[in-house]
Structure 1
Amino acid sequence: METEMDTAVARTARQVAEAALSWLDGMRGSFALPTDTPDDHVLGDALKALAELTLATALVRREAIAGPRSADLADRLLDFCWQQVGQGELLYRLQARTPAATYPMEIYAPFAAAGYRHERLDRLAAQLYGLRAYRVVEHVPNRRLALVSAAAKIGVAVPDDLAALTGQTWLGGTPEPWMLDPSNAYGVTHTVFHLTDWGARPEGLPPQLQDYLHQWLPAWAEVYCETRLWDLLLEMLMVGTCLGRPLFSRAIWEQVAAAQRADGMMPNGMTKPPADPHRAWRNHHHPTIVAVAAGTLTLSRAVSHAATGARSKT
């Protein structure tokens, strides 16, 4: 029965991810950064959207479980993202101009993990991560974990105390579960993502936090499914795939699939998207990107889990 459930979840997750990726490919032009614009103006929503697309498509490449068409779309979108940042040159200029900024390295990290490298940015990263200033960046704790994760992807060892940083996060304190609100929920999901490298290393999440999430993640997912906060719900489904004993919910994935539009776009809450896809992109590209990442990781872990279960019975 468990193997059958894994298979059903994998099928639905694949369908959602493939449809979402197809929509993102069709909206590729909306992700293009403005041209003939000073570097300082290439910030905000445009760069954030491109960074999110980079991360999702890099995960598709890393997991290597998508069908041929989706794998090709993800590769082409990742190439597109790399071209948009000038093959890393834009990120290098932004980082060199504002050495204390952390976002250029965070954007570069998934590119580097996927094999896209910029030699001068690599050298600059090694220099900046070695400064005393790096160790006192005043970010909230889960954002500090993001810096550690980015450094690891780029290939720079940093001296941060992961256990101490984790203990300072909302999740690390294992609070009363009813105190979770959307703001802290996003912190929880990203704490897990950074500690496990987006599910690649489930062992990076301490056992006590794995137990805590096994107990409360299903209830939280039910709440955010009822409120139709699809991007947050999909992030929680991703968290379930990052655990040593992955959590899947066939019923919730079926509701996600039912909410997805026929063209592959995921809605943003209960807001009715405008008919014009380019206007819809502004508020709905983020949950659609998360659908690609969540569907990919769920498919990968469900297939692996089902195979492990089948072998254990032989």
Structure 2
Amino acid sequence: MTPRLSPGTAGIARRGLLLGMAWLNENLQHFAVRTVTSQRFDKHHVAQLKPLTELALTVWMLKRCGLELPVLDATASWIWQQCEHGRKLVALLLARHDFLPCCALYASLRQLGFRDPALDRVLRLLARADIEAALPLQPWSRLAMRYNLWQLGLTKWPGQEGGLYIATRPEPWVVSGEVAYAITHEVFYLTDFGARELEDVCVTDYLRAWLPYWTRAFVDANDNDLAAELAMVAACLQASHDPASTQGLHSALAVQREDGAVPGPDGAGSFLFAEGDTAAHRDFLGCYHTTLVTLMAAAMTLRNSTI
């Protein structure tokens, strides 16, 4: 039987979800992708897709956790319109084959029921090309790309990906933002966001033992972005009934604003700033990611509960 959450955790998770969904609905236009007038695509154009990609993942994850709300379906349709029903991604990938990792956006949209045959053909060709294995990516980033290609039916399950941080179970006291980012994302993809168990029991035991301590470090540093991501990891490992493993979710929701946003750490989103940004848009960029991961952490934590 799945362990129950404490009533307090379940209550704040539900309240946080409702507030966060209200914030998403009010701020949807800030996720819009600006029109690219040039035929040349650079990393700045791809960076514009980051918030939209993370929004698509969040919508899919909330629905996967059992939230069947009309606003989620409406948001998914709006995201697909932002992609020009796939045409925008086709143009990007034909111009820049090395931007194959942007298949993440389409992977979530496919799970949400949207499909473009032309985009399918382009991705099928690129997934089979030599560039797929040669791209200079961090191990966790390569895992992410192959996980998303797997979701699209274009490659095998990436469970044997080499060079991953968690596979070596390094000294747990060596933790930083970069290390935590690798840990969280490797767990997300290797567990299919909690749908699968990790294949190595020793890695699972290592993560469950040290997850509360890593979370405490980022809570103390007021980094609720990584604290919430670590709460997602706890849910992926079926450890979210443990109060020590839900402290990241509690920390993020404790600072949730009345409008539903969860502030990010200092400097969050600043690499997405552009000339002419309004103060409201920069506020959005500073909190959107932490808000999204908090929503996913709350939904995944509730999913694991029998309440």
TM over 0.5: yes
Q: Report the counterpart of residue 186 of structure 1 in structure 2.
A: 181
Q: Report the counterpart of residue 231 of structure 1 in structure 2.
A: 225
Q: 2:235, 2:301 within 8 Å by CA — same for their partners in 1? A: yes
Distance of aligned partners of 1:36 and 1:239 in 2 relative to their CA distance in 1, 3 Å threshold: closer
Q: Report the counterpart of residue 261 of structure 1 in structure 2.
A: 257
* TM-score normalised by L of structure 1: 0.85
Deviation at 1:223, TM superposition (A): 1.3
Q: Report the counterpart of residue 150 of structure 2 in structure 1.
A: 152
* Structure 2 counterpart of 1:266, one-letter code: V
The structure 2 residue matched to 1:108, chosen from 88, 97, 106, is: 106
Distance of aligned partners of 1:179 and 1:7 in 2 relative to their CA distance in 1, 3 Å threshold: same
**Structure 1: 5+ residue runs without aligned partners?**
307-314
Deviation at 1:236, TM superposition (A): 0.2
Q: Report the counterpart of residue 200 of structure 1 in structure 2.
A: 195
Higher alpha-carbon deviation: 246-255 or 230-239: 246-255
Deviation at 1:137, TM superposition (A): 2.3
| RMSD of Structure 2 on Structure 1 (CA) | 2.5
State the SS of the aligned residue for 1:43.
helix
Higher alpha-carbon deviation: 13-22 or 258-267: 13-22
Deviations 1:281-311 (A, max 9, x none): 12111111111111111111123xx6xxxxx
Q: Report the counterpart of residue 51 of structure 1 in structure 2.
A: 53
Percent identity of paired positions between Structure 1 and Structure 2: 28
* Structure 2 counterpart of 1:38, one-letter code: S
Query: What is the distance in 2 between the residues matched to 1:5 and 1:100?
Result: 44
Distance of aligned partners of 1:89 and 1:188 in 2 relative to their CA distance in 1, 3 Å threshold: same
* Structure 1 counterpart of 2:53, one-letter code: A
Q: 1:11, 1:299 within 8 Å by CA — same for their partners in 2? A: no
Q: How does 1:294-309 map to 2 (within 5 A)?
A: 294-303=297-306
Q: Report the counterpart of residue 273 of structure 2 in structure 1.
A: none
Higher alpha-carbon deviation: 188-197 or 122-131: 122-131
Deviation at 1:115, TM superposition (A): 1.6
Q: Report the counterpart of residue 160 of structure 2 in structure 1.
A: 163
Deviation at 1:73, TM superposition (A): 1.9
Q: Report the counterpart of residue 272 of structure 2 in structure 1.
A: none
Deviations 1:242-270 (A, max 9, x none): 11554543555333322111111101136
Q: How does 1:114-133 map to 2 (within 5 A)?
A: 114-133=112-131
Q: How does 1:7-46 map to 2 (within 5 A)?
A: 7-35=7-35, 37-38=37-38, 40=41, 43-46=45-48
Deviation at 1:195, TM superposition (A): 0.8
The structure 2 residue matched to 1:243, chosen from 220, 223, 237, is: 237
Query: What is the distance in 1 between the residues matched to 2:181 and 2:157?
Result: 26
Distance of aligned partners of 1:37 and 1:302 in 2 relative to their CA distance in 1, 3 Å threshold: farther
State the SS of the aligned residue for 2:173.
helix
Q: 1:192, 1:239 within 8 Å by CA — same for their partners in 2? A: yes
**Structure 2: 5+ residue runs without aligned partners?**
269-277
Whether 2:88 is the aligned partner of 1:90: answer: yes
Deviation at 1:143, TM superposition (A): 0.9
The structure 2 residue matched to 1:288, chosen from 287, 291, 301, is: 291
State the SS of the aligned residue for 1:263.
coil
Higher alpha-carbon deviation: 219-228 or 2-11: 2-11
Whether 2:74 is the aligned partner of 1:76: answer: yes
State the SS of the aligned residue for 2:99.
coil
State the SS of the aligned residue for 1:286.
helix
* TM-score normalised by L of structure 2: 0.87
Query: What is the distance in 2 between the residues matched to 1:87 and 1:232?
Result: 32
Distance of aligned partners of 1:15 and 1:126 in 2 relative to their CA distance in 1, 3 Å threshold: same
Q: 1:33, 1:46 within 8 Å by CA — same for their partners in 2? A: yes
Query: What is the distance in 1 between the residues matched to 2:157 and 2:220?
Result: 42
Q: 1:19, 1:264 within 8 Å by CA — same for their partners in 2? A: yes
Q: 2:267, 2:286 within 8 Å by CA — same for their partners in 1? A: no
Whether 2:216 is the aligned partner of 1:222: answer: yes
